[in-house]
């Protein structure tokens, strides 16, 4: 299927972002007996570069990092993700979201256009990556399908130094190149498991490397 991604105006997503962050704060209260956590919006959504494919029914999406504070000897990756999944599912239903889906590298809430009917058009979705600061770089909870196991895994190299690269690109006056590259990458992407934050990082790295090699 040919894709046709475009940018969504900030006014269109503003209220939904507020709603999602209300949900996150309620989840913080829900899991407080086990652990606390911080959160922040990430990826393209952090830079007001939310997109949607006008030729599909998948809507637009947000990306958030959830950073739990707990004793990781007592709370395994699987236990942390299960606690958060159940809490997001419980709270999310009060706001019209489906069950919380557990994918390879994120938890996902989806809101359908006419309610909780799976298979209907998706109004928007939100991915929550569970992260922590590792010894060398940030790690995230990854589900290894082959081993049927949840593991802390280092973030891919594509995520390394993204903020510094963005500063460099903007100083060169080439931010529109990133916006164009991001749309191009989203239109040609065929991997449904590849999240928007990964595609955004790819766009930043492509433009950064082009500038460095001039």
Domain ranges in the chain?
5-156
59: left (phi over 0), alpha (psi -120 to 50) or beta: left
Q: HSE-up of 129 (CA within 13 Å, CB side)? A: 25
Domain range 5-156, its CATH number among 3.30.460.90, 3.40.50.300, 3.40.50.10470, 1.20.1250.20? 3.30.460.90
The mean per-residue pLDDT over the stretch 186-200 comes to 87
167 confidence band (pLDDT: 50, 70, 90): very high
Cα angle 72, 66, 161; round to 5: 100
* Tens digit of each residue's pLDDT (9 = 90 or more) over 72-98: 999 999 999 999 999 999 999 999 898
The mean per-residue pLDDT over the stretch 10-27 comes to 94
The mean per-residue pLDDT over the stretch 22-49 comes to 95
Q: Give the whole-angstrom CA distance, residue 197 versus residue 127.
A: 9
Q: Give the whole-angstrom CA distance, residue 84 versus residue 79.
A: 9
Say if residue 137's pLDDT is above 60. Answer: yes
The mean per-residue pLDDT over the stretch 42-65 comes to 89
pLDDT at 29: 98
Collapse the DSSP code of 56 into the 3-class scheme (helix H, G, I; strand E, B; otherwise coil) and give the result: coil
Say if residue 13's pLDDT is above 80. Answer: yes
């Amino acid at each position: 299927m040919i894709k046709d991604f475009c940018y969504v105006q900030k006014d269109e997503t503003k209220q939904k972002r507020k709603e999602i962050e209300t949900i996150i704060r309620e989840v913080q209260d829900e899991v407080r007996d086990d652990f606390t956590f911080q959160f922040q919006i990430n990826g393209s959504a952090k830079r007001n570069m939310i997109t949607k494919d006008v030729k599909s029914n998948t809507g637009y999406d947000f990306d958030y990092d959830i950073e739990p504070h707990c004793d990781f000897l007592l709370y395994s990756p699987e236990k942390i993700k299960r606690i958060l999944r159940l809490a997001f599912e419980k709270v999310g239903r009060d706001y019209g979201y489906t069950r919380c889906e557990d994918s390879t590298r994120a938890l996902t809430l989806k809101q359908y256009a006419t309610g909780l009917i799976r298979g209907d058009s998706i109004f928007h979705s939100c991915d929550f990556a569970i992260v922590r600061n590792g010894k060398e770089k940030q790690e995230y909870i990854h589900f290894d399908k082959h081993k049927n196991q949840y593991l802390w895994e280092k973030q891919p190299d594509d995520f390394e130094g993204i903020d510094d690269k963005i500063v460099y690109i903007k100083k060169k006056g080439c931010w529109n190149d990133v916006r164009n590259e991001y749309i191009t990458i989203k239109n040609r992407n065929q991997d449904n498991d590849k999240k928007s934050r990964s595609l955004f990082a790819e766009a930043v790295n492509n433009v950064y490397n082009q500038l460095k090699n001039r």
